[in-house]
Structure 1
Amino acid sequence: MENTHMLSLHQLSKRYGPVQALKGVSFDVPAGSVFGVLGPNGSGKTTLLGIVMDVLKADSGTYAWFGQPPHHSLRRRIGTLLETPNFYHYYSAVRNLEIAAAIKQRGHDDIERVLKICGLWARKDSKFSTFSLGMKQRLAIASALLGNPEVLLLDEPTNGLDPAGIAEIRELIRELGRQGTTVIMASHLLDEVEKVCTHVAILKMGTLLTSGHVDEVLASEDMIEVNSADGNKLEQVLNAMPGLRSLRRHNGGFQAVFDNGQTAEQVNRYCFEQGVALNYLALRKKSLEARFIELTN
């Protein structure tokens, strides 16, 4: 591995007339990650994928694959599924992949492997027209995996699928990640990124809001709810507690958020030591939905 980053973006910008599709976007995709580019429709995700695949030209900024400036030979190390491939309805899965391998000029001896990875080996001789939506998308991913690329690039891989198909594709992406393939996928679904990805970059109207490990970026602050017989004394004690970020009244008691993740037990002990006995104590996890809405609104 030449670099621990499969892909690095530095200040990428792209404008279409009056619309600034990308504004100085920079982030790194670690090797072996399942990296989600998350944002509502129109946030610049597809433009970003188009630039790093050399389909579109950036107005300014640079990017590097495998620590190297882009050049044609690197394309062979990247598998892409940016739009639905045109498979022949009356040909079998194997025949369709033979045609795909011929077009790509690689992967002829790889068909059995990719069909097995994508769970389609048992249906290798079935016509494409007999496949469910999820199976059709799995065949598309199998085609992108021909030639054993180090990185797989997917644009909204579950779009248009039924719930069963969505579950199949998500599990396949997780499995590819476990096997060490770096997957970069654009999605507008928070739920998808949360369930599938290890890392995320969140875009809004062409601007990068944040990027990093999913657990850190979507970290929900835990709120601790407390009450006691003497509300005024409790308020004084909490306001004096180290690490308090915010305190607000809620349902006759208080909701406290701490900077360094104090546990409910620590809050309880602190209050008790300051002479306040709590008659109510609860930990409330802030939902990821709330965090995402906060970031994109």
Structure 2
Amino acid sequence: MDFTSFLIQILNALQYGLLLFLVASGLTLVFGIMGIINLAHGSFYMIGAYLAFALTSLTGNLMLAIVLGIPLAFGFGALLEKLLFVHLYKRDHLQQVLLTYGLILIFEELRSLTVGDDVHGVAIPDLFSASIALSDNLSYPVYRLVISVVCIALAVGLWWLMQRTRLGMMIRAGSFNREMVQSLGVNIDLLYRTVFALGVALAALAGMLAAPISSVYPGMGGNVLIISFVVVVIGGIGSVWGALVAALLVGFADTFGTILLPELAGLAVYLLMAVVLLWRPEGIFRKG
């Protein structure tokens, strides 16, 4: 592998890892802070991708579709938490698993009825449709770089929200002692609703950003859900920074595992998880 090809694979690993972070960060917030095992989280990624397809078809512009899709996803998450997930906080994990698995089936059926089972493409905006020449024969798409920049900006913004704002302080406090925070006058129901809606919006945004490069197809949330749980376990349940580090490690393990050991490509990520858990059973970072 020459240097240019190596550089391209590094960029691919970074882009994949950062995009995976968007999905896993929402999952680790909901799982680590609210104590909800949400198997339907991958469906929010799928919903985001189909939102990108539908809204781009209506507006003719992916960027406008994303601007419209984010508040729709956030509102959908808030409504879903108010109607369903609010009843799960004091239930055991088996009931959480059963309900969220049922949601997967419902979302898939609704997707089939409304959009069909065909594979759809989403056009990359003209502004980002070019490629950067890295050699005489190899180039790298600008849109993939844009995805990486957006994900980095969101990672910084999420860190600032959690560590430097009053809302973040309340979220972190609520994750340790819900009753104490509620006794201090904080509307814990609204706080949890905001966290859940934020998690849905992050997963949906990842789906919208990925739609032009991965296409939009039935069941696309399933693989994302599995790998997102791997990221959460590696990074440490409830840790946003852990999700970022773990997502990047998974991105590199998957990308270079496919290239260097193609016969073991499917195992590379899970071997990474096994090694990390043998070293630190609680994950790389603790909750925070």
TM surpasses 0.5: no
TM-score (normalizing by structure 1): 0.24
Which of these two proteins has the greater Rg computed from alpha carbons? Answer: 1
From the two aligned structures, give the one with the greater strand fraction.
1
Q: Which has the higher contact order (CA 8 A, sep 6+)?
A: 2
TM-score (normalizing by structure 2): 0.24
From the two aligned structures, give the one with the greater helix fraction.
2
